[in-house]
Amino acid sequence: MSDLVSQVSSTLGGLKQEFNSIAHNLANVETVGYKRRCNTFSRVLAAQGAGSKAEIGEGVDLDSVLDFTQGNIIGTGRPLDFALVGKGFFVVETPEGPLYTRNGMFRLDSNGQMVDTAGRIVAGESGPITIPPNVGLSQISVGSDGNISAAGAIVGKFRLMDFGENEKELQQAGINCFQAPADAKPNAATNVIVKQGFEEGSNVQMVEELVNMIMVSKLYEANMQFVSVRRDASKSIIDVAMS
């Protein structure tokens, strides 16, 4: 009985975790470059026939993973908005080390350096990307290979990195960035195209997330009913024993 209670408790915890992941995805349906977090817990649970006592939650992985599939490419017309088509990430520099992002909404700081929305320097292949002070935004041109020109002169090239098979090792690091563990070494991205004046939308599909949320809610309710039935049955046994 105690093993069964523990098993159901684990199942409820897993469903709550998945519900929170879905809610977070929905909250970021319009976040530029956002990558949805998902897991298969509820689907595996449903396939096992959740609520059928012995098999509730057995052997089901509670871990969620990031889905790095491409989001929709949306035109903005802004010269410092960039979208990546294909596998790869922009690199932003922080005191704790580089972070990786698909959010290419950049701006220039007071020093003319290209930075992200949090003010962190966008990495170029040869260091920070600096636009001369006499160059207007309309004079900034970026090629599909990431080369950046200001008034016709090359001033830098985006440092674009790809993790290949190790992409799944990336962890969320806030403000729509990802951090790589020490053993996940990136390589220069070779199969990616930079599009200026565009942004990559979130890869969250609202209808799919809502369907998943309904399924998780039903499974949670079914397991709570199971707990209630077992509690009532135990109470009846105790009442009979005490009479």
As given in the structure block, the two tokens for residue 241 are: 């024993």
Residues 196 and 209 in one domain: no
Residue type, 6: S
Q: Please tell me the predicted confidence (pLDDT) of residue 83.
A: 98
Residues 102 and 182 in one domain: yes
Average pLDDT over residues 46-72: 64
CB 160 within 8 A of CB 188: yes
Using CA atoms, how far apart are residues 22 and 62, in angstroms rounded to an integer? Answer: 14
Alpha-carbon distance values, 140 to 95, 130, 149 (Å): 28, 11, 6
Residues 33 and 61 in one domain: yes
Phi then psi for 58, rounded to 5 degrees?
A: -70, 130
Q: Please tell me the predicted confidence (pLDDT) of residue 136.
A: 95
Does the pLDDT at position 130 exceed 60?
Answer: yes
Q: Please give the DSSP secondary-structure letter assigned to residue 130.
A: B
DSSP 61-122: ----EE--PPPPEEE---TTEEEEEES-EEEE--TT--EEES-EE-EE-TTSBEE-TTSPBB
The helix/strand/coil state of 16 is: helix
Residue type, 242: M
Residues 77 and 196 in one domain: yes
Q: Exposure pattern of 74-109 as b/e (b: 16+ CB <10 Å)?
A: eeeeebbbbbbeebbbbbbbeeeebbbbbbbbbebe
- The range of the structural domain enclosing residue 51 comes to 2-68+203-242
Using CA atoms, how far apart are residues 131 and 83, in angstroms rounded to an integer? Answer: 20
Residues 12 and 114 in one domain: no
For the chain, what is the domain count?
2
54 — pLDDT class (breaks 50, 70, 90): very low
Does the pLDDT at position 77 exceed 90?
Answer: yes
Residues 192 and 127 in one domain: yes
Residues 163 and 124 in one domain: yes
**What is the rounded average pLDDT for all residues in the chain?**
85
Residues 128 and 151 in one domain: yes
Average pLDDT over residues 72-89: 97
